[in-house]
Amino acid sequence: GLSLETIITTAVMEFYKEATKIIVHVNHGSLIKIRQEALSIQEKLIVEQLKKGNEDAYKYIYTYHYVLLCHVANQYLNDNFLSETIVGDVIFHLWEIRETLNITISIRSYLIKAVRNRCIDYLKSRSEKKEISFSVLVPEEMSEEKYLQSDNYPLGILLERELEHEI
């Protein structure tokens, strides 16, 4: 088959030809609009190719968005390795769900939102783990009051024996 780049280039060139026929008198604003529509068509083609399982579409997304997404993740996490891991997971997840993918915004916006959400989820889970680990370290049964009320702990038993021995 044709490479993704060839498919996209051909589609964009066809679009430019059609747009040129329609717009006889091109002003600057119209040209910008044509470019935006061409980019929109390009993104639709990439998503379409991704849905079909075209690995070049996956590589394209990875190549053109990875660095920016790592930067976005690092703004939340302040950890390069973790940021790269999360971005890799998000892009891989895109491949996993490709057949049911429904992107209504730009691919970049979609990925940035996905990375942001994944970072926030990670930070929440890390916060919850800290709370859980703290509660495991200090269970309610081991509160200070219970130590003071009960002699059923090793030091209490030792003290009780020493006191009995002294009496």
pLDDT tens over the chain, length 167 residues:
667 677 777 766 666 666 555 554 455 556 566 556 655 778 888 888 889 998 888 999 999 999 999 999 999 999 999 999 999 999 999 999 999 988 888 889 999 999 999 999 999 988 776 666 655 555 555 544 444 455 555 666 666 777 676 66
Report the distance separating Cα 19 and Cα 58, nearest Å: 29
pTM for this entry: 0.60
The predicted pLDDT at position 24 comes to 47
Residue 127 half-sphere exposure, CB side, CA atoms within 13 Å?
Answer: 7
CA distances from 31 to 9, 21, 24, 115 (A): 18, 13, 11, 33
**Token pair belonging to 78:** 């302040």
Closest by CA position to 82, among listed 90, 94, 92, 70:
70
Using an 8 Å Cβ cutoff, are 101 and 94 in contact? yes
Report phi then psi at 117, rounded to 5: -65, -40
